[in-house]
Chains A and B, each alone.
Chain A
Amino acid sequence: MIAALLRAWFTTLRRDRVAQAMVFLLPIVFFTIFANVFGGRSGATPRVSVAVADESHSALSARLVRALGNEKSLKVTTAARDVDAPKSAPERPLTRERATRMVKDGDVPVAIVIPAGIDTSMMRFAGDTTVARVTLVADKSDPIAPQVVIGLLQKTAMTAAPDLLARNGIADFGRATGGLTSQQQKSVDEWLPRLAADTAASATDSSGAGALLPVDIEDVMGQDQGAMMISFYAAGIAVMFLLFSCSGGAGSMLDELDSGTLERVISSRIGMNGLLVAKWLYLTLLGCLQITVMFLYAMLVFRLPLLSHLPGFAVMTVVTAATAAAFGLVLATASRTRAQLSGISTILILAMSALGGSMFPRFLMSDAMQKAGLVAFNAWALDGFVKVFWRNAPIAALAPQVGVLLAFLVAFATIARVLARRWERA
Chain B
Amino acid sequence: MTQSPTTDAAPVMRVEHARKRFGDTDALKDVSVELRPGELLALLGPNGAGKTTLIRSIAGRVALDAGTIELFGRAADAANARDALGVVPQDLALYPLLTARENLETFGTLHGLRGAALRERVERALEWTALADRAKEPVRRFSGGMKRRLNIACAVLHEPRVLLLDEPTVGVDPQSRERIYEMLDGLRTSGASMLLTTHQLEEAEARCDRVVIVDHGTVIAEGTLAELVERTTGRALQVELKLDRRPGEGRVTGEWRDGRLVTQLPDLVNALPALLDRVRAAGCTVEDVHVIRPSLQSVFLHLTGRELRE
Which chain A residues have a beta carbon within 8 Å of chain B's beta carbons? 258-261, 263-265, 267-270, 425-426
Closest to A266 in B: B61
Given contact pairs A269-B111, A269-B112, A426-B22, A260 touches B59 in the complex (Cβ within 8 A): no
In the complex, the answer to whether A261 meets B93 with C-beta atoms within 8 Å is yes
In the complex, the answer to whether A425 meets B112 with C-beta atoms within 8 Å is no
A426 to B25, CA, bound (A): 14
A261 to B92, CA, bound (A): 8
In the complex, the answer to whether A426 meets B110 with C-beta atoms within 8 Å is no
Contacts of B59 in A (CB 8 A): 267
In the complex, the answer to whether A260 meets B111 with C-beta atoms within 8 Å is no
Given contact pairs A426-B22, A426-B56, A263 touches B61 in the complex (Cβ within 8 A): yes
Q: A267-B60, A269-B83 are in contact. List 11 more A-B contacts (CB 8 A).
A: A258-B91, A260-B93, A261-B91, A261-B94, A263-B89, A264-B107, A267-B82, A267-B87, A268-B111, A269-B111, A425-B63
Interface residues of B in 64-90 (CB under 8 A from A): 82-83, 87, 89-90
* Best-buried of A258, A259, A261, A425 by chain B (most CB within 10 Å): A261
In the complex, the answer to whether A259 meets B91 with C-beta atoms within 8 Å is yes
Interface size on B, residues (CB 8 A): 24
Distance of A411 from chain B, by nearest CB (Å): 28
Closest to A423 in B: B61
Contacts of B154 in A (CB 8 A): 264
Closest to B57 in A: A426
13 contacts between A and B (CB under 8 A): A258-B91, A260-B89, A260-B92, A261-B91, A263-B61, A263-B89, A264-B154, A267-B59, A267-B60, A267-B82, A269-B110, A270-B110, A425-B61
Is B256 in contact with chain A by the CB < 8 A criterion? no
Closest to A265 in B: B110
Contacts of B61 in A (CB 8 A): 263, 267, 425-426
Contacts of B111 in A (CB 8 A): 268-269
Closest to B94 in A: A261
Contacts of A264 in B (CB 8 A): 87, 89, 93, 107, 154-155
Distance of B149 from chain A, by nearest CB (Å): 16
A263 to B107, CA, bound (A): 12
A268 to B154, CA, bound (A): 11
In the complex, the answer to whether B107 meets A268 with C-beta atoms within 8 Å is yes
A195 to B214, CA, bound (A): 103
In the complex, the answer to whether A263 meets B63 with C-beta atoms within 8 Å is no
Distance of B158 from chain A, by nearest CB (Å): 9
* Best-buried of A259, A260, A267, A270 by chain B (most CB within 10 Å): A267
Which chain B residues have a beta carbon within 8 Å of chain A's beta carbons? 22, 56, 59-63, 82-83, 87, 89-96, 107, 110-112, 154-155
Closest to A278 in B: B110
A267 to B93, CA, bound (A): 12
Contacts of A269 in B (CB 8 A): 83, 110-112
A197 to B43, CA, bound (A): 102
Contacts of A259 in B (CB 8 A): 91-94, 96
A259 to B139, CA, bound (A): 13
Closest to A262 in B: B93
Contacts of B22 in A (CB 8 A): 426
* Best-buried of A260, A268, A425 by chain B (most CB within 10 Å): A268
Given contact pairs A426-B61, A426-B62, A263 touches B93 in the complex (Cβ within 8 A): yes
Contacts of A426 in B (CB 8 A): 22, 56, 61-63
A264 to B111, CA, bound (A): 10
A67 to B111, CA, bound (A): 75
A259 to B155, CA, bound (A): 15
In the complex, the answer to whether A260 meets B56 with C-beta atoms within 8 Å is no
Closest to A261 in B: B93
Distance of B161 from chain A, by nearest CB (Å): 16
A264 to B110, CA, bound (A): 10
A261 to B155, CA, bound (A): 11
Distance of B195 from chain A, by nearest CB (Å): 15
**Pairs of residues from A and B, 5 with the lowest C-beta to C-beta distance, nearest first:** A260-B91, A260-B93, A268-B110, A264-B93, A260-B89
Distance of B253 from chain A, by nearest CB (Å): 53
Distance of B23 from chain A, by nearest CB (Å): 11
Distance of B187 from chain A, by nearest CB (Å): 18
A258 to B91, CA, bound (A): 8
Closest to B154 in A: A264
Distance of B154 from chain A, by nearest CB (Å): 7
A417 to B51, CA, bound (A): 29
Contacts of A425 in B (CB 8 A): 60-63
Closest to A258 in B: B91
Distance of B69 from chain A, by nearest CB (Å): 13
Contacts of A270 in B (CB 8 A): 110
Contacts of B107 in A (CB 8 A): 264, 268
A426 to B59, CA, bound (A): 12
A267 to B158, CA, bound (A): 13
Contacts of A265 in B (CB 8 A): 110
Contacts of B56 in A (CB 8 A): 426
A264 to B61, CA, bound (A): 10
A267 to B63, CA, bound (A): 14
Distance of A262 from chain B, by nearest CB (Å): 8
Distance of B48 from chain A, by nearest CB (Å): 15
Distance of A254 from chain B, by nearest CB (Å): 14
A269 to B90, CA, bound (A): 20
Closest to B59 in A: A267
A260 to B107, CA, bound (A): 13
Distance of A278 from chain B, by nearest CB (Å): 10
Distance of A268 from chain B, by nearest CB (Å): 4
A270 to B106, CA, bound (A): 12
In the complex, the answer to whether A261 meets B60 with C-beta atoms within 8 Å is no
A258 to B56, CA, bound (A): 16
A264 to B151, CA, bound (A): 10
Distance of B118 from chain A, by nearest CB (Å): 13
Contacts of B83 in A (CB 8 A): 269
Contacts of B92 in A (CB 8 A): 259-260
Distance of A366 from chain B, by nearest CB (Å): 48
Closest to B85 in A: A267
A426 to B65, CA, bound (A): 11
Contacts of B96 in A (CB 8 A): 259
A425 to B82, CA, bound (A): 15
Distance of B65 from chain A, by nearest CB (Å): 11
Distance of B51 from chain A, by nearest CB (Å): 15
A260 to B170, CA, bound (A): 15
A378 to B250, CA, bound (A): 89
Contacts of A261 in B (CB 8 A): 91, 93-95
